[in-house]
Structure 1
């Protein structure tokens, strides 16, 4: 009986009414009727007040706390929702809010651990597949030569070239993995200088012209010749960003397609847009294309080559410059990759020999 709010309220109300009767019995003018009425009023009033107080300020909150603790014990945190903390006279409600916050923090921690575990599984599977291809290819060529094909000069040279090509692919993969890991850990330093972004893009275009001509892809670079495009960034790493994005635009374009590169200034920033006429990227893949080894089926498959780490490296380089890479794509029409860098005003004092260093955190 004493384990419920009503039972406790009855006992306390009886005690209060007894005290009232005992007090009034000491008064000579108090009649028996008055004493009985006072006892009834004291009992009913005390019962209601104590019952409501215990129910809403104590037992209900204790029940909520027990439910939360049971969910935490069973690791069933999926239905726990964040509650707004309100001022309350009940300390138990505040305790309930603290436990609820703790449960939410545990839920987020568990979800993060599950995502990390899934990422590790996918990463191990992906890197195993990426490493297996060049290793198995090289093994096949070398074992074929050891089995007697080495005596044929023509076959020997052909297989050695193919083995060397597979090993070069393996080396590129390892180098990209090391670069990405160093960026994420903050080991690689960023050396910021003032340079002309237009010249960097022109150098990349000149480097990729031969690859573009093989696929009959035209590269169209548009900019305002009367404007300057001086930015403050790490020139070498921005060169790699432009190289990767333009190379992808050429590689994933259709035959006789066109790559459009637009360079424009916007107040304090320079924006670079790189557009291709390829097959585009499905909406469900857009959020994942910057993940390691993620490839879009059909339009961006393994046959096209590459390590699958280029866009991940691009993302980390731009994050090191406090910038972001954005992409918009329409299936069947192509994609547009965009990023921006700070614009150094022409009237600002410049010191071409002055550099600053930063690290990616």
Structure 2
């Protein structure tokens, strides 16, 4: 039965017992010394009444005391809403209270750790975006200042510098447009215009568009097999084209000379297909894979910027596919190659 007692009940029980013994002892001494008599029945009745009364008073006061203190703690740390503490005596079991405090402490620890991670991410992001914008800005500024200092009088120099400054401005616009798109995707402001189309034809059109870029490194863009039949999907065609473009551009950018970028389309489940973009390029180290889809995150901190781009391509891919409620996957062997894949909703031919 002792195990069933709450600790506060034990405290009240033992305390009331000590008080009762003390009071009964005083009365007993008084009767024996002064009255020189002893009546055990009234003394027993007094002891029982004193014990019960003491137990109730002590227990009620403990509950009231702890209720006030615990409620103050809850209110101060916002552990629970005030509505969760009803106008009744809360438990005075210290084990329960300890568990609640430990739960609160763990939650706050996780929250603090999460805030630290976000703060580090924010600092890194701000540093990356400052670097990405600084490079073309300083380039444009350098050419413009050179022209102002007198180079504008030389027609050949003027045309060359204006063309380079224009490329720097185009890069700035490219970065800002990509940032704006990610912001719209994250806030849900970007409307998806879903339609039915043949994904094979879309991939072929992306191949045609990137053919010259791939030819510079003698990289072949190919399917894993001949897809003679239509594969109909239902999604935003323009956005999925952007996904394919970004992924294939990446495979070319980090691919080896005389390499291959291969696209395959497989049935995943009844109404889903998975599209795989595989290359035999330099590959990605496992430590970098979890951060690939972060804004401005680059695996090669030095060399990748030579390839151009906004550093937002994979982040855009992730957000576009999430807006479609689709999944993205990455597999890579460093030094061997990489495979990026994503799912799409498939339609029947007669739909």
Query: What TM-score range do you get, normalising by the shorter chain?
Result: 0.7 to 0.9
CA contact (8 A) 1:221 1:260 kept: yes
CA-CA distance at 1:339 after TM superposition: 0.4
| Corresponding position of 2:30 | none
SS in 1 for 2:298: coil
**Cα–Cα, structure 1 residues 341 and 302, in superposed 2: closer, same or farther, change >3 Å?**
same
TM-score by length of 2: 0.76
Unaligned residue ranges in structure 2 (runs of 5+): 1-7, 28-37, 79-88
Asked if residue 91 in structure 1 is aligned to residue 94 in structure 2, the reply is no
| Corresponding position of 2:215 | 213
Query: How far apart are the structure 1 equivalents of 2:214 and 2:169?
Result: 25
Query: How far apart are the structure 1 equivalents of 2:132 and 2:172?
Result: 8
Alignment of 1:243-322 (within 5 A): 243-266=245-268, 267-297=270-300, 301-322=304-325
CA-CA distance at 1:340 after TM superposition: 0.8
CA-CA distance at 1:110 after TM superposition: 3.2
CA-CA distance at 1:19 after TM superposition: 6.5
CA-CA distance at 1:7 after TM superposition: 9.7
CA contact (8 A) 2:234 2:347 kept: yes
CA-CA distance at 1:260 after TM superposition: 1.1
Alpha-carbon RMSD across the aligned residues, in angstroms, is 4.2
CA contact (8 A) 1:253 1:277 kept: yes
Asked if residue 12 in structure 1 is aligned to residue 17 in structure 2, the reply is yes
Query: How far apart are the structure 2 equivalents of 1:92 and 1:155?
Result: 85
Query: How far apart are the structure 2 equivalents of 1:192 and 1:280?
Result: 33
1:225 to 206, 224, 227: 227
Query: How far apart are the structure 2 equivalents of 1:283 and 1:92?
Result: 51
1:325 to 313, 324, 328: 328
CA contact (8 A) 1:190 1:234 kept: yes
CA-CA distance at 1:113 after TM superposition: 3.1
Unaligned residue ranges in structure 1 (runs of 5+): 23-31, 74-88, 351-361
1:185 to 160, 184, 187: 187
**For 1:215-239, what per-residue CA distance to the aligned partner results, in whole angstroms no more than 9, with x for missing partners?**
1111121245354310111111001
CA-CA distance at 1:112 after TM superposition: 3.4
Alignment of 1:1-361 (within 5 A): 9-15=14-20, 91-93=91-93, 94-223=96-225, 225-266=227-268, 267-297=270-300, 301-347=304-350, 350=351
CA contact (8 A) 1:326 1:339 kept: yes
Query: How far apart are the structure 1 equivalents of 2:199 and 2:303?
Result: 28
**For 1:231-277, what per-residue CA distance to the aligned partner results, in whole angstroms no more than 9, with x for missing partners?**
11111100100011011111110111111111122332111110111
CA-CA distance at 1:108 after TM superposition: 3.7
Larger % of helix: which? 2
Q: Which moved more, 1:211-220 or 1:299-308?
A: 299-308
TM-score by length of 1: 0.74
Query: How far apart are the structure 2 equivalents of 1:276 and 1:169?
Result: 27
